[in-house]
A and B are shown apart, each in its own frame.
Chain A
């Protein structure tokens, strides 16, 4: 695996983690908005 591939893998992992984090945050915020 080249350095470039490693960098891409790390970036993709960061993006996946952030996507999950943001989605979870928004779900919670939306539930609060709905009073759940």
Chain B
């Protein structure tokens, strides 16, 4: 009863990703992001399948769409400019952590997430800095760079 709603909880957290322009942005997978991903991939399961696809799987497109869906860029094309190809492993960790955070905690009372990914706690203010318009032109940059 005292638990926050999913969106309130998710907005309060995020996973920091370092972008190609040198900025750090908070990747938050909320309901809006999930909805966009479902629209594109058909379902979250299909998105996971694409994420886990073999060497022929399109990874940069997946990164770009995920960043766009999470509100880091106003378009998929703009998101491509934010991808640092040297950080693919970090982005995979960040996406995994952001989605894990998006899942409600298990009934056993364990905290969500596995702690292995690149999740770093950020202040509430930083995480919601871009919340009025998730499709805005400015990526969420908690570090203010």
Contact = CB atoms under 8 A, between A and B. Distances in A.
Interface residues of A, number: 18
Interface in A1-36: 12, 14-16, 18-27, 29-30, 32-33
B77 interface: no
B129 interface: no
Chain B contact residues: over half helix, strand or loop, or mixed? helix
A29 to B, nearest CB: 5
A25 B48 CA distance: 9
Nearest to B97: A22
Contacts of A30: 44-45, 48, 103
B23 interface: no
Given A19-B53, A33-B103, A26 B48 contact: yes
Interface string B99-138: 1100110100000001000000000000000000000000
Given A30-B103, A32-B106, A24 B88 contact: no
Interface of A: 12, 14-16, 18-27, 29-30, 32-33
